[in-house]
Amino acid sequence: MAILDFDITVGDCVCARYPSNAQLPFSDDKLSALCIPEGGHIFEEDHTFVLCKEPVTSDQLFGLAYFRNKKDPTVKRGAVMRSIVLLSRRPFFSFYLPLLREALRRFMD
């Protein structure tokens, strides 16, 4: 699992991982491209599905990235934009979405 920050001043970055030493199957740049929806600045929230192979075992991984755009007039863009992504060996997307929504809300608030 990872949380990504899409900052207009410093660029995209992974700002948190769980566990902290987690090896994700993508580079940080590719992960940020997968986890921000097209037109993200227009919508308050969105989610994206990600399919990939686990690098060591080649097991199928199912990913869900939940994106939130929270208005904030104190930042240059006028909003804080972040995503949380969860990779799993099971495609439990409908179970994970409310959990990711709440986790990112708490992280951002």
What's the pLDDT at 36? 87
Token duo for residue 87: 């990779």
CA-atom Rg of the chain in angstroms: 14
The 10s digit of each residue's pLDDT in 20-46 is 888 888 888 889 889 988 877 788 999
pLDDT, one tens digit per residue, over 62-99 is 999 999 999 989 988 889 999 999 999 999 999 999 99
What's the whole-number mean pLDDT along residues 44-67?
93
pLDDT score for 23: 82
Whether the full predicted model's pTM is greater than 0.85, yes or no, is yes
Laid out side by side, the sheet with 79-88 consists of: 11-17, 2-7, 79-88, 60-71, 45-53
List the one residue out of 40, 37, 31 whose CA is nearest residue 63.
31
